[in-house]
Amino acid sequence: MKETDSSLYTAFKAKDTRFDGRFFVGISSTKIYCRPVCWAKQAKEENCTFFSSAAEAEAAGYRPCLLCRPELAPGNSIVDATSILAHKAARLMEENCGTGQNLEELATKLGCTDRHLRRVFMDEYHVTPVQFLQTCRLLLAKNLLTDTNLSVLDVAMAAGFGSLRRLNDLFKKQYHLSPTDLRKNIAKGKRQTSEITVSLGYHPPYRWEEILEFLSQRAIPGVELVKDGAYMRTVRIKGREEKNFCGFISVKNHPKKNVLVVSLSDTLLPVLPQVLARVKRLFDLYCEPNVVYEALQTMNEIRPGSCIPGIRVPGCFESFEMAVRAVLGQQITVKAAGTLAGKIAKTYGNPMETGIEGLTHTFPTAEDMIALSDHIEEHLGILGVIASRSRCILALAEKLVSGEIVLDGSADPEQEMKKLVEMKGIGNWTAKYIAMRTLGWPDAFLETDIGIRHAFPDSTPKELLALSEKWRPWRSYATMNLWNSL
């Protein structure tokens, strides 16, 4: 840790939520490690050791606290990382801990050698990538054992251990108790249902109503639904051996615990880590709102009330779906774009039974669009999509499948934006919007956007872009604040 132990202990003693997930505290008297917000009896300073990650604490021989549950701690914002590469690798490992992806494959995806990745990862997290991946799996297993009534075998497979024996061995080695023993120590009365419920932590404050309203206005009929304070959607994810898994999820906020509660159909259990990683991306759970607000609060001097603590930048659950939605939305209303996207989903997506009125289809994949390539203008034209948009959607699908364009956590947003604007039918606004939503790019400012122009009616786009320089590297959040202020 860069800060002194004394200052970290002060933050630990204050239970300051701003530090949740930024460090962990090992208690030598109990050999347990905690989040800085843990409400257990305060440990003496001389008994505390501070770690930058849960993996580092476990590597030092500490077990996770059963009260504050380190697996629920929100992650660090990637912009603050001393090594962007290491943080990208960490997020990809969290997402793919159940797929069996090895370090060489991960390094190739990130465009570096596995040796270089080991070195920068060790510098940033003080553990090897393998140790970090092991902790991801253990904490996911602990989360499932605590919050669900899944069998221990199902937990082992969902968390990526491959076998019950492997889970038992590592659990006993790291935590000095078996998965079954953990179940005996937690609250009883969990009821087995066809849904799985998992909690994901975030840094407060969290403006849940604002992000829900944003998603509601842009929900694709049949695919997404916002109702009764919850976001719901259909899901189709490719897992091991290219097998597709379909189901549905529901996400609600639990503000008293600073967590989002994710319920998913049991058909998605084999791809659970991917589902949870996508929910984190969609709801911007890595954001540190106090850091963002401190950087942007000068916005209120220019436009009073425009900057509010806790605003998030909505990400996306499925990159191709989001990119198509962005292409369709050029020069038409938000509602009209949603209608077109819904028609595409109903006609070319996969129908599915969810038991939820309004959720009927998954959105077609890039491969589904390529299958229509011979007559793409005709296929989409009868739905109301103009020919130029149809050709752009097909080109985008082909580039995503070929790997020419990458819209996931391994990508360099600025490089991908350059590739996007080179495509016929995608302008600067669309490229920035796609990067903001699919790549989690925090520094996209849409100076030509009609909403931004309404917020500053007397300024030209060039003047707005110059004004936004003072808001780097959080200009995506500045954009969201301005949209919300209208």
Q: Which pair of structure tokens corresponds to residue 136?
A: 């991801």
Phi–psi pair at 118, nearest 5 degrees: -60, -40
Domain CATH for 46:
3.40.10.10
Phi-psi region of 355 (alpha: psi -120 to 50; beta: other; left: phi over 0): left
**Terminal C-alpha separation, the chain:** 42
Number of domains in the chain: 4
Does the residue 353 lie in any domain?
Answer: yes
Please choose, from the candidates 113, 76, 114, the residue with its C-alpha nearest in 3D space to the C-alpha of residue 94: 76
Examine residue 309 and state whether it is found in any structural domain, yes or no.
Answer: no
Which domain CATH number covers 357?
1.10.340.30
| Residue 320 to residue 299: CA distance in whole angstroms | 33
Residues 178 and 208 placed together within one structural domain of the fold:
no
Instruction: Indicate which residue of 34, 38, 48, 307 is catalytic.
Output: 34
Q: What is the pLDDT of residue 186?
A: 65
Q: Please give the residue range of the domain that contains residue 454.
A: 319-485
pLDDT (0 to 100) of residue 187: 53
Residue 294 lies in a domain: no
What is the reported pLDDT for 391?
Answer: 97
Both 417 and 365 in one domain: the answer is yes
374 is catalytic: no
- Nearest-angstrom CA–CA distance, 297 and 474: 11
Q: Output the domain CATH number for residue 278.
A: 3.30.310.20
Asked whether residue 311 is assigned to any structural domain, the reply reads: no
Kindly give the pairing relationship between strand 259-265 and strand 24-27: unpaired
**Residue of 20, 307, 449, 458 with catalytic role:** 449
- 223 and 354 part of one domain: no
Do 33 and 96 lie in one domain? The reply is no
As averages over each run of 10 residues, the pLDDT of the chain (486 residues) reads: 72 88 93 93 94 93 93 74 75 84 86 88 90 93 90 93 94 90 67 74 96 97 97 93 91 96 94 95 94 94 94 97 96 94 97 94 97 95 97 97 93 93 96 96 94 94 94 95 93
Is 34 in the active site? yes
Q: How many helices (H) and strands (E) does the chain have?
A: 23, 11
My answer on whether 397 and 338 are in the same domain is yes
366 plus 276 within the same structural domain: no
Whether residues 83 and 57 share a domain: the answer is no
Say yes or no: 394 and 248 in one domain: no
Q: What pLDDT shows up at residue 29? A: 94
Residues 68 and 111 grouped into a single domain = no
Q: Is residue 133 part of a domain?
A: yes
Give residue 192's pLDDT.
47
Residues 476 and 346 in one domain: yes
Last residue of a domain, one of 140, 165, 185: 185
- Tell whether 190 is covered by a domain: no
> Residue 132 belongs to a domain with what CATH number?
1.10.10.60
Of 18, 45, 72, at which residue does a domain stop?
72
Assigned domain for 125 exists: yes
Judge if 324 and 344 occupy the same domain: yes
Residues 82 and 68 both lie in one domain: no
